[in-house]
Amino acid sequence: MTEPVYPMARQCPFDPPPEVTRLRDQPQVSRVPIWNGMRPWLFTRFDDARVVLGDPRFSADKRRPGYPVSSAVALAEATVEPTLLIMDNPEHDAVRRLVLSEFTVRRAESWRTRIAAIVDGCVDRMVDGRGHGDLVADLALPVALSFVCELLGVPAADRERFRRLTHDMNVLSGTTETAGAARQELQDYLESLVAEREREPGDDFVGRMIVTHVRTGAMDRRTLAAMALLLLTAGHDTTANMISLGLLTLLRNPAHFAALRTDDPGRLADTVEELLRYLTIVQRGIRRMAVEDVDVNGHPVRAGDGVIAAINAANRDPARFAAGERFDPTARPHGHLAFGYGPHQCLGQSLARVELQETYRVVARRLPGLRVGVPLERLRFKSDMAVYGLHELPVTW
């Protein structure tokens, strides 16, 4: 019998593949084959995944020979200027410290009113004279792209270009050459933007980084462009997928959708955390490579071994989360791994939380009669992309 290649196929669009859940419930840790024939260790339990993501003896550098990259297109990340995602210390912490002040909870909260206005504008255009729409094209993508472009100081006219290039970087059926060309085009564009903004910095991320770090010599232009590229791609693609997939989940749970129309910020925050835990759109695991021997809760990993933290399974570990396989915002699901863990935990997680909270809140209040326009089996889910989500979500109201 042929051993299934990780990640295995889903049977339910909201759940991890059943083989991964089965492996989590077994006492031993297993190796699994991946697309290129390598057999990294697969860690599926919450406590094990935290060790893999938090221990500095596991490298995130995809440029290392033998690293268990998730696909051919993922190799492109190592062909252009490296981002924080593939840096190890001390380089990683040195760059991350320079930008941390831009991603505090306080700064994220300062965006709340503006984000709500962006969502309102998208809903206005969506409902103008119509009773149907597509929550991906009409809401999720425009909200995510508009916000991240304002954050960075990128012209609105270039948003469609960014959407297209990000798609080319993440579609799994693509080639390393196509993904690399898309990444290089974005890097070149952002380097040009940095050079242009040096002459007249604005009050946005790129402008502030130029004033505080580029002009002082603490950060070079290519590093700033690579940071902007990371924020642009991760900041709109992941958020857009969470918006649409989260709304689909809420529409299938109407009592929880209706609860967002209250003025309870705690209920709103708990719902977002539970959607992040339950859906975990990083569907191909977080990959690492051991650079020293490491003991992962009694399981020995040798230097040079590849490992995968299957956070979609870990986020449903019944030993850590009372709801387990169920969607239950009342279970207070905080402490999940949807944003990773350890030194590479998502830099923009506070911004993402505010963006998701405001999007779900505005939609629940303005479109109380929102409903999915086609049967579930007709929806196209992004099993063919690096980040899980929906290709489109037809709705009526």
DSSP category for residue 79: T
pTM: 0.95
Name the one residue in this structure whose structure tokens are 């077994």.
26
DSSP category for residue 282: B
* pLDDT score for 1: 58
Report pLDDT digits (tens) over 329-383: 999 777 999 999 999 999 999 999 999 999 999 999 999 999 999 999 999 999 9
d(CA 277, CA 49): 14
Question: What are the φ and ψ backbone dihedral angles of 259, each rounded to 5 degrees?
Answer: -65, -20
Degrees, nearest 5: CA angle 379-382-384 = 130
* pLDDT score for 334: 79
Nearest one of 111, 145, 115, 141 to 126, comparing CA atoms: 141
Helix (H, G, I), strand (E, B) or coil at 30: strand
Judged by phi (left if over 0) then psi (alpha if -120 to 50, else beta), residue 285 lies in: left
Name the one residue in this structure whose structure tokens are 């505090």.
104
User: What are the domain boundaries of the chain?
Assistant: 18-396
Please say whether the structural domain 18-396 has been given the CATH code 1.10.630.10: yes
* pLDDT, mean of each 10-residue run, the chain (397 residues): 88 96 94 96 98 98 94 79 91 95 96 98 92 96 94 87 86 82 91 91 93 94 93 90 98 97 92 97 96 98 98 96 95 90 96 98 97 97 92 97
Q: What single string gives the DSSP state of each residue in 118-158?
A: HHHHHHHHHHTT-SEEETIIIIIHHHHHHHHHHHHT--GGG
d(CA 118, CA 359): 9
Report pLDDT digits (tens) over 254-277: 999 999 998 899 999 999 999 999
